[in-house]
Amino acid sequence: MEMDDSVPIEFIFEADASRSSPRLAQLTESLKLEHQLLRVPFEHYKKAIRANHRVAEKEISAVISGVSDVTTDGNLSSGDAVNRLNSLVSKLHGLKRKLEEGNRVEHLQAQKCRVRLDHLESAIEENMSEWNGTHLNRILVDYMLRMSYYDTAVKLTECRKIQNLVDIDIFQEAKVVIDALRNKDVAPALAWCAENKSRLKKSKSKLELQLRLQEFIEMVRAENYLQAIKYARKYLAPWAATHLKELQRAMATLAFKRDTECATYKVLFEPKQWDNLVDQFKQEFFKLNGMTLEPLVNIYLQAGLSALKTPYCYKDDCTKEDPLSQESFQKLALALPYAKLHHSKLVCYITKELMDTGNPPQVLPNGYVYSAKALEEMANKNNGMITCPRTGLVCNYREIVKAYVS
C-alpha cells in the first residue's frame, strides 16, 4: 500500500467542511494553524507503510525466486529440496514477524492521528478554556524540544497528560544526531540521510554533501592527506556534476592546510561549521516531518507582535507597557512589517488615558505631548509649573499650546 504525497492533509477536511456543519468549517480554519499537529504522525504513518511495503516486496520476491530455483533444478535430491523449502518457510515466518511489528507501528501512528483529530474537534465554546490550556502546553513543549530542553519537556508532558499530542519520541531520535554533531561525529547524521535518501533527494537537500565535506575537512585538519584524497574520490566525486564549486573550494584546503590565513579557506576550519551542520540538520528534520521551521510559540508571538509593531517601538523612550520595548520581542519582530493602523489613538504618557476632545493633547516647548488633564494636575501641585517626565524640562503652564490632530 502506497500513499500519495501530493495530496495535502488539509484537503480532506476542506472537502468535508464544504458540505458539512459550520462547526466543521471552523475546525478547518483551526487546522490551518495546527498543520504540524496532524502532519507529524501522518508523515510517520506513511513512512511505516512504505517501509512495510518494501520489506514485504523484497522478502516475497526472494521466496518466489527460491521456490523457482528448487523446482527447476533437476540435480537436487529430495532431501536438499526439502531443506531449501524449509529455509524459505523460515523466511516467511520471519517476514510475518516483521510485518506484525510494522503493523504495530502503523496502528500507533494511526491512533495518534485519531487522538489529535479528537482534540481539534473538542474546540467548542463550552470547552475553550480547557482546550486553550492544552494548546498552550503543547506549544511550550514544542519550544522546549526544539531548544533541547528534553527533560523539562518530558516533565511538562507527563504532568499535563498530553503524551499523544506532542512528538517527544521523534525529537529524541533527532537528539541522537544533534548530540553526535556537537561531538564532531557525522556518522549518525549520515545514517539518517541514508534512511531518508529518496525524500531528501526529492527536496534537493545538500545536508549529506555538507556532512561529507566536513568529514573531508577534518581529515585535512588531522593532516591525513592521502586518506582525505581517497575519501574525496569515493564520496565527494559523485557530487561534482551539480556542486563543483563547493568541491573545488574544499579540495583547495589540501594546499592551504589548516593554519591558513586566507579567509576563503580559513572559515572551513572554524568550529562554527559544526554549529551550522546542527542548524542545517534541524531544518531538514523539520521539513521531512512536516513541522514548522520556526517554533510554534514564535509564530503565535509574531502574529500578535505584528499588530503592535510601530516605528515608535524602537525608540529609546518607548513606554515600558509596550511589549515591543523589550529587546527580545524587538528581535522577534524585526522582520515583521509595521502594523497598518487605520484608526489611531493617542494615549497620555503620564496618565495612560485616552486623549480626545474631552481631554485634548497639549504640547510642551520641547515638542513632547501630554494630556490636558495630566498637565493641569501637575500645574496645580507645582504652582503653575510643568516638568516634562521624559526630558526634565521645566516650563510654565502658560507656555503649553493645544495640539490639533487632523
Number of Cβ atoms within 10 Å of the Cβ of 237: 10
User: Is 61's pLDDT higher than 90?
Assistant: no
How many whole angstroms from its chain centre is CA 97? 35
Rounded Cα gap, residues 219 and 40, in angstroms: 37
**Surface-to-core class of residue 115, CB atoms within 10 Å of its CB (0-12 exposed, 13-18 middle, 19+ buried):** middle
C-alpha distances (whole Å) from 25 to each of 8, 21, 113, 129 are 17, 7, 19, 20
352: its cell numbers: 495612560
Return mean pLDDT, the chain.
85
Average pLDDT over residues 58-81: 81
Q: Give the burial string for 70-95 (b: 16+ CB within 10 Å, else e).
A: beeeeeeeeeeeeebeeebeeeeeeb
Closest CA to 300 of 136, 121, 148, 145: 136
Average pLDDT over residues 346-353: 89
User: Is 105's pLDDT higher than 80?
Assistant: yes
The predicted pLDDT at position 11 comes to: 45
Rounded Cα gap, residues 157 and 154, in angstroms: 5
Closest CA to 308 of 332, 274, 279: 332
Instruction: Enter the pTM of the model.
Output: 0.69
User: Is 1's pLDDT higher than 80?
Assistant: no
- Residue 161 zone, left/alpha/beta (φ > 0; ψ -120 to 50; rest): left
The predicted pLDDT at position 2 comes to: 42
Three-state SS letters, 56-99: HHHHHHHHHHHHHHHHHCCCCCHHHHHHHHHHHHHHHHHHHHHH
- CA neighbours closer than 13 Å in the CB half-sphere of residue 36: 21
36: its cell numbers: 504540524
Spatial CB neighbours of 292, under 8 Å, sequence gap ≥ 6 = 35, 36, 286, 299
Contact by Cβ (8 Å): 236, 216: yes
pLDDT in tens, 378-405: 999 999 999 999 889 999 999 999 887 6
Average pLDDT over residues 129-153: 91
What pLDDT band is residue 9 in, cutting at 50, 70 and 90? very low
Average pLDDT over residues 206-220: 95
Per DSSP, what are the bridge partners of residue 355?
346
User: Is 176's pLDDT higher than 90?
Assistant: yes
Number of Cβ atoms within 10 Å of the Cβ of 186: 22
User: Is 147's pLDDT higher than 50?
Assistant: yes
H helix intervals, 270-310: 272-288, 296-305
The full set of domain ranges for the chain reads 9-123, 172-190+204-288, 346-402
Helix (H) / strand (E) element for 144: namely helix 128-146
Contact by Cβ (8 Å): 63, 96: no
pLDDT in tens, 312-332: 787 777 777 778 888 888 888
The predicted pLDDT at position 10 comes to: 47
Average pLDDT over residues 257-281: 92
What percent of the chain stands above pLDDT 90?
42
Q: How is domain 346-402 classified at the CATH fold level?
A: Herpes Virus-1 (3.30.40)
Report the SS3 class of residue 150: helix
Q: Give the burial string for 144-183 (b: 16+ CB within 10 Å, else e).
A: bbbebeeeebbebbeebebebbbbbebbeebeebbebbee
Average pLDDT over residues 2-26: 47
Rounded Cα gap, residues 331 and 359, in angstroms: 35
173: its cell numbers: 531520535
Which of 77 and 395 is assigned the larger pLDDT?
395
Average pLDDT over residues 241-264: 91
Helices (H) and strands (E) in the chain, counts: 18, 7
Least confident of 26-30, 129-133, 164-168, 379-383: 26-30
**DSSP letter string over 221-252?**
HTT-HHHHHHHIIIIIGGGTTT-HHHHHHHHT
The predicted pLDDT at position 131 comes to: 84
Spatial CB neighbours of 240, under 8 Å, sequence gap ≥ 6 = 247
Average pLDDT over residues 251-273: 91
